[in-house]
Amino acid sequence: MPVGTAGAVKAMTPGELSDLGTQMILGNTYHLYLRPGIDVIAAAGGLHRFMGWSRPLLTDSGGFQVFSLRAISAVSDQGVTFQSHLDGSRHLLTPERSVAIQTALGSDIAMAFDHCPPGDAPPALIQEAMERTTRWAVRSIAAPRAPSQAMFGIVQGGSDIALRRRHLTEICALDFDGFALGGLSVGEPGPAMYAVLDATADELPCDRPRYLMGVGTPADLVTAIGYGIDMFDCVLPTRNARNGQLFTSQGRITISNAEHRFSTAPVDERCDCETCRTYSRAYLRHLLMSREILYSRLATLHNLHYYLSLMREARRAIQAGRYSAFRQTILDDPQGG
């Protein structure tokens, strides 16, 4: 899922996302609540109509902002009291309020409110966040929402395998429509994340979607799929594109490097996206160095095409019974895709 934090995937129109084969995008409860406000979106008929996106939408619960904006927030069992990063106003976000906001947004999948601790949090804090997430999950699932809106529960527990398995048992005992692994790729070492996936991903119910939140690199994706994960979101393809890093079948390239100044080659000879069919590396480098808006559009289009194509190839490899070989081709890339 490309990330549309404020109701837009940066530099892309909904039509372009559809043409790329995007099946679902993610919207951010915290940011949309603060701006433009739920009343504005509700008056427009919901987030789908507001942003012109007709395919499925998933909204996060705001729990990750507890982690990312923890310097201006305070957590209690009631919920999270936070200060707006926009104007300093104070707000209280509870499980019930999070579900109400997501219902007003009209997303197809809502996430239960969770407490996401940092990757280097001490064991006592990780356990506290895990136990609070369970209590909030019970409140989230009991809160009123649209009958057609699915809800996913979130498994926390940091990098502690025993805590992860314990929390997985607690969350999967609740009647959620899907399950997510949260609290990963938040500062813990890569091997620790893979150890958690190895120990827990295949223990999530096989008849419900399995979602790994906020991950990651192409190598992370194909590794996680091998463990049994179905769904991902990450800002990496769009953010890295804007910062000059492009993903290719031959590894990542930094388009600002001087080696591309005279290059008439496309970003990726094997790619059939509009950017690679039409423009050279030299031209993209020129746009970036000139700070032209067109650069962000062309680079983002390419990176999303790469990621979405990677998912299609993974799906075909699974269906053909050759996933292990496919995964190895990505992992053999010394730059991790």
pLDDT single digits (tens) 272-317: 999 999 999 999 999 999 999 999 999 999 999 999 999 999 999 9
Determine the residue type at 244.
G
Crossing angle of helices 218-227 and 190-200, rounded to 10° = 20
Identify whether residues 155 and 263 lie together within a single domain: no
Name the residue among 106, 178, 177 with its Cα closest to residue 145: 106
Residue pointed to by tokens 């790469």: 306
Q: Is the confidence at residue 335, as pLDDT, over 60?
A: no
pLDDT band at residue 12 using 50, 70 and 90 as cut-offs:
very high
Name the region of 45 (left: φ>0; alpha: ψ -120 to 50; beta: rest).
left
Identify whether residues 146 and 80 lie together within a single domain: yes
Distance CA 159, CA 79 (A): 24
Determine the residue type at 187.
G
Contact 93, 79 (CB under 8 A): yes
Domain assignment present for 50: yes
Identify whether residues 131 and 271 lie together within a single domain: no
Helix (H, G, I), strand (E, B), or coil: what is residue 112? coil
Contact 95, 113 (CB under 8 A): yes
Contact 107, 57 (CB under 8 A): yes
Burial class from Cβ neighbours inside 10 Å (0-12, 13-18, 19+) for residue 311 reads: middle
Contact 212, 233 (CB under 8 A): no
Determine the residue type at 308.
L
Query: Could you tell me whether strands 251-254 and 150-155 are parallel, antiparallel, or unpaired per DSSP bridges?
Result: unpaired
Cα–Cα–Cα angle for 161, 75, 187, nearest 5°?
40
* The last residue of a domain, from among 177, 205, 234: 234
Identify whether residues 76 and 130 lie together within a single domain: yes
Identify whether residues 57 and 148 lie together within a single domain: yes
Quote the number of domains for the chain. Answer: 2
* Residue range 134-160: mean pLDDT, rounded: 97
Domain assignment present for 336: no
Distance CA 98, CA 192 (A): 30
pLDDT band at residue 66 using 50, 70 and 90 as cut-offs:
low
Determine the residue type at 258.
A
Residue pointed to by tokens 């990621």: 307
Q: What's the whole-number average pLDDT of the chain?
A: 95
Given the residues 60, 114, 220, 268, select the one marked as catalytic: 60
Summarize pLDDT for 18-39 with one digit per residue, the tens.
Answer: 999 999 999 999 999 999 999 9
Burial class from Cβ neighbours inside 10 Å (0-12, 13-18, 19+) for residue 199 reads: middle
Domain that holds residue 244: 239-331
Identify whether residues 327 and 184 lie together within a single domain: no
* The last residue of a domain, from among 199, 215, 234: 234
Distance CA 112, CA 159 (A): 21
Summarize pLDDT for 96-121 with one digit per residue, the tens.
Answer: 999 999 999 999 999 999 999 888 88
Summarize pLDDT for 188-225 with one digit per residue, the tens.
Answer: 888 999 999 999 999 999 999 999 999 999 999 999 99
Identify whether residues 227 and 260 lie together within a single domain: no
Identify whether residues 278 and 186 lie together within a single domain: no
* The last residue of a domain, from among 170, 199, 234: 234
272 as an active site residue: the answer is no
Residue pointed to by tokens 């119910």: 205
Supply the Cα-derived Rg of the chain in whole angstroms. Answer: 20
Domain assignment present for 123: yes
39 as an active site residue: the answer is no
pLDDT band at residue 67 using 50, 70 and 90 as cut-offs:
low
In the chain, DSSP finds a helix count (H) and a strand count (E) of 15, 13
Identify whether residues 78 and 160 lie together within a single domain: yes
Helix (H, G, I), strand (E, B), or coil: what is residue 95? helix
- Residues of the chain above pLDDT 90, percent: 90
Given the residues 114, 220, 233, 268, select the one marked as catalytic: 233
Residue pointed to by tokens 């991903």: 201
* 323, containing H or E segment: helix 323-331
Q: Find the CATH number of the domain harbouring 158.
A: 3.20.20.105
Domain assignment present for 337: no
Identify whether residues 164 and 249 lie together within a single domain: no
Summarize pLDDT for 215-227 with one digit per residue, the tens.
Answer: 999 999 999 999 9
Distance CA 282, CA 288 (A): 10
Identify whether residues 185 and 319 lie together within a single domain: no
Identify whether residues 9 and 154 lie together within a single domain: yes
